[in-house]
Structure 1
Amino acid sequence: MSPAPSVATPFTLPNGQRLANRIAKAAMTEGLASKDGLPCAAHEALYRRWSHGGCGLLLTGNVQIDRQHLERPGNVIVDGPLSPDAKAAWARWAAAATENGTQAWVQISHAGRQTQKQVNPHPKAPSAVALALPGGQFGTPVPLTERETLDLIDRFAHTATVAREAGFGGVQIHAAHGYLLSQFLSPLANVRTDAWGGSLENRARFLLETVKAVRAAVGNDFTVAVKLNSADFQKGGFAFDDCLTVTGWLADLGVDCLELSGGTYEQPAMMDMDGLTPREEPKQSSTRAREAYFVQLAKALLAAKSPPLMVTGGFRTLAAMEDAVASGISLIGVGRPLCAEPACVADLLAGATEELPRFEENLRIGPGWLGPKSPIKLIRTLNGFAAQAWYYQQLRRVAADGAAVKLNPWKAFQAEQRENKARV
C-alpha cells in the first residue's frame, strides 16, 4: 500500500498535468498593469520570484475579459485580439511564472456589479441589483442582454486561448467572491426570469456554458479549473446545497480542479475582513481548527461528487496543511504570506520552519478602538481596506527588489489610492 500523501507529494491532475507538490500560490490581484492592461516587467519579476519560491502551482491574479469591468485599476486585460507586442508580453510573463518546473494557470474574470465607479459608473450584471455597501463606490448595474451574455462566454474562451498560446498550463474560471459568474449563481444578485435566472440550473447556465466553451477552445490536455463559492454567507444567497449540486455538474463536465472559497464584497468571508469567520463554520478554540476556513465544507463535497479540490483560506501551519491533504483535499492554497516573503513555502517544505509568516500585528491603523476589532463599523472597514493595501504595496516592493519593507497600513492605503488613480 502506498504511503499517505503529504504536502510535499507530487500531484497529477486528471488531464495528466503534474504538480511538484500540493501547495499552490492562490490568485491575488496584482494591480501592476498599466492602462493598456498588459503584463509588464513587474509581473515578470514577481512571478519569477514565486516560481522559485517552493509552490508547485502559481495562480495569477484575475485577468479581466472586458476593460470596462475591472476588479481594480491595474488588472491585466484581454479585450479582443492581441497585437504581436502584446503576445510577446504575455509570453514573457508565462516564461517567468513557469521557471523551475513550476506550473502556472491564469485566473479569468469579469467584475460585473463589483466594478468600482471610477472604472464604470454603470456596470453590466445579471440584474439591476446594486451592492448593499456604504460609501457609494459602486453604481447600480445594467442587466446584460442575452447577446451580451453569449459574447462574454466567447470572451472567456478567447482569453483561455491567449493563456495557452502564451505558455501557461491552464486557466481558472473565477465564479466566486461576488464577481460576475458568482452574481449569476446568486438568487440575490440574479432576479432574471429568462433562461439565465430563476432555478439553480438556469442561474448556473452561464458558468456551465463558459466551462464548455473554454474546454472546446483549449482542448483536453490544458487545465480548466473553476473557483466556486461554497456559499455567499448571505441569507437567501447561493448556499452550500447549491454548491454541492453545481460541483457535481462541474465534475460531469470534466473540470480538472475546483477551488473552494466563499463570500462576496457584501460578506467578505474570503478576506476575513473585520475579524469575521465564515458564517457556516463556528469559531473554534484550536488554532489549527481556525486555520482552514473551508476544509469542513470541502470534506462534504468529497463525500459526494467533485473534481480534485483546492482549498484556500487561512492556512499557516504545516500541521494544518498535512491534516487537510490527509483528508483527501488535493491542493492547499496560500496567499498573503507570499506577498511579503515569496520564498516562505520553500522554507516550509525544506523543514526550516513549520509555520508561514503572519503579519496581523503590522496591519493595525491604530491601537484599541482604532484597530480591526473596533466597535465602530467604519473603522473596522477602514482597517480592512488598509490591510489589503498593505499587502498590495508589499507585492509592488517584492516585484521591484525582492524585499518587503516596514510599512504603516494607513500610508499604504493612501499610496494604493494614488496608484489606482494613475491607472484609471
Structure 2
Amino acid sequence: MSKMQTSPLAQTLTLPCGATLKNRIAKSAMSDSLGDGAGNPTNDQVNLYERWAEGGLALSIIGEVQGTPNFAEKPGNLILNDQSDSGLLERLAKAGATDNAQLWLQLGHAGAMADAPISTPKGPSALDLPGLTCGALSLDEIHALPAEFARSASLAKELGFGGVELHAAHGFLLSQFLSPLFNKREDAYGSSLQNRMRLLLEVIEAVREAVGPKYPVGIKLNATDQLEGGFAEDEALEVISAVDKTAIDLIDISGGTYFPGAASSSDRAGSGPYFLEFAGSARKKTDIPLMVTGGFKTRAQAESAILDGKADLIGLARALVVDPELPSFWLAGQRTEPQFPRFKNPPEGGVTAWYTMQITRNAKGETALAPDELDAAVAEYESRDEARRQIWKSRLS
C-alpha cells in the first residue's frame, strides 16, 4: 500500500455542515497583498490560488477580506460588498477550487490596527500608545457589525467560494474585543469575558443565518495574544466552550498579535508546532474540527498531530510560500520538510515583507527570492503598498 493511501494527511474530513475536505492540509490565511489597490482581485491572485490548489492541498484561505473600505489592514486587501467586481471574484473562486480544493475567504476588520493612511482606526476602546492610536467604536457602529459580516458571507456564497472564516485572531477587531488590553469598555461589550465575547457570538449567529446550515463557516481564534495582560489560554478555552454551542464548522487555532513592536508567532524560534498542546486542551472543550496553524516544519510533525487527535487539519503558511507544491509531495511520502530561508538581523517586519514578495514571485511563476535579497524585498513591498494607498484613497475614500 502506498504512502498516499496510508498517510493520515490523506484522510478526508467531513465538516459539521456536511462539506468534505479531500485531505488534511490547508493553506492558512496570509495577507498576500495581491489586491489591485481598489479592493479587487488581480490576475496574479487568480494564478496564485490556482497554483496552490494544483499543489494538492484541500483548503486555501485568503487573508483579511474586508466588508467595507473603512478599516482595511493593508491596501492590497480585497473588499467584498455590493460594489465589488463580481466577475473577477468569481474567477478567483473558480481558480481556487481547481482539483477539488476549496477556497474560503477570511472575513476581517482591522479595527484599531487599520492602515492609518487609508482609514481612521477604531477599536473597542480609544488608545494612545507608541505606534498605535485609535478611536472607540460607538454602540451603533458595533451593532452594525454582525450584519456587515453576514452580508460579506452571503456574497461569498453567491460568488462560488467554498466557505468563509471569521478572523478573531492576531489582534484584528474581533480579537481586540476579546483582549483586555484593547477592550476597556464598561458596557455590554466589555469588562467580563462574557461581554468581551458577545460581539464574536453575535457575528457567528448572523453569518450562519445568512448562509444557511450547509455552508462552511470557520473561525480563527488566538490561543494567546502573547502579550502581558492580554487574551490568555484560560480565556481562549472558555471562548471555545462558547463557540462549541454555535454552528461553527472549523476552529482554526493560532496565536500572537500584530501589535507594534510585538514579535510575530511566525518569526519566533522553535522546531515544532506552536499551539498543538493548546489544541489538545481545546479538544476536551469541543467536538468541532480543529485546524492548528503555526510552526509545522516537517511531515512527521503534521502526521503526528493528526494521529494524536490534537488536530483534524494542518494549517501551513510560510511552508507553502517556499514550496507551493508541498502537499502533493507530503501526501506521496516525499520531501520531509521544506527549506526555509535564514536571515541575518532582519528589520522589524522585514521577514514578512520578504515572504509577501515571494508570494508575488509564486503568482507570476518567477524564480525564488534569495535570503540576501531581503533589503530589496522590503523596499519593493513598501513601494507597492504606497502606490496602492494612492489608488485606494482616490477610488474608495
| Distance of 1:251 and 1:402 partners within structure 2 | 44
Tell me what 2:337 maps to.
Answer: 355
**Structure 2: which 5+ runs fail to align?**
390-397
CA apart distance, 1:5 = 7.2
Output aligned runs, 1:168-317, within 5 Å. 168-266=161-259, 268=262, 270-273=264-267, 275=268, 290-317=271-298
Tell me what 1:395 maps to.
Answer: 359
Tell me how large the CA RMSD over aligned residues is. 1.8
CA apart distance, 1:390 = 0.8
More strand by share: 2
CA apart distance, 1:340 = 3.2
Letter in 2 for 1:107: Q
CA apart distance, 1:406 = 2.9
Contact 2:322 2:338 in 1 (8 A): no
CA apart distance, 1:116 = 2.7
CA apart distance, 1:104 = 1.5
Tell me what 1:35 maps to.
Answer: 37
| Distance of 2:33 and 2:281 partners within structure 1 | 35
Contact 1:5 1:325 in 2 (8 A): no
Letter in 2 for 1:125: G
Tell me what 2:93 maps to.
Answer: 94
CA apart distance, 1:4 = 9.2
Tell me what 2:55 maps to.
Answer: 53
Tell me what 2:121 maps to.
Answer: 123
CA apart distance, 1:404 = 2.3
CA apart distance, 1:268 = 4.8
Tell me what 1:285 maps to.
Answer: none
CA apart distance, 1:415 = 0.6
Contact 1:262 1:269 in 2 (8 A): no
Between stretches 332-341 and 200-209, larger displacement belongs to 332-341
CA apart distance, 1:161 = 1.0
| Distance of 2:163 and 2:70 partners within structure 1 | 25
Tell me what 1:163 maps to.
Answer: 156
Q: 1:209-242: per-residue Cα shift (whole Å, max 9, x none)? A: 0000000000111011000011112222111111
Contact 1:340 1:403 in 2 (8 A): no
Scaled by the length of structure 2, the TM-score of the pair is: 0.92
Tell me what 1:325 maps to.
Answer: 306
CA apart distance, 1:145 = 0.9
Moved over 4 A (4+): 267-270
Contact 1:176 1:182 in 2 (8 A): yes
Contact 2:240 2:285 in 1 (8 A): no
CA apart distance, 1:327 = 1.8
| Distance of 1:234 and 1:32 partners within structure 2 | 30
Tell me what 1:422 maps to.
Answer: 387
Scaled by the length of structure 1, the TM-score of the pair is: 0.86
Q: Could you say which structure has the greater relative contact order, defined with CA pairs below 8 angstroms and 6 or more residues apart?
A: 2
> In percent, how many aligned pairs have the same letter?
39
Letter in 1 for 2:49: Y
Between stretches 65-74 and 389-398, larger displacement belongs to 65-74
Change (3 A) 1:197 1:305: same
Aligned residues: 382
Change (3 A) 1:167 1:268: farther
Output aligned runs, 1:142-157, within 5 Å. 142-157=135-150
CA apart distance, 1:276 = 5.4
Change (3 A) 1:229 1:4: farther
Q: 1:308-344: per-residue Cα shift (whole Å, max 9, x none)? A: 1100111021111111101211000000121232112
**Structure 1: which 5+ runs fail to align?**
278-289, 365-370, 373-381
Change (3 A) 1:396 1:5: closer
Letter in 1 for 2:126: A
Letter in 2 for 1:196: Y
Letter in 2 for 1:95: K
| Distance of 1:412 and 1:229 partners within structure 2 | 29
Contact 2:30 2:317 in 1 (8 A): yes
Between stretches 88-97 and 9-18, larger displacement belongs to 9-18
| Distance of 1:247 and 1:402 partners within structure 2 | 42
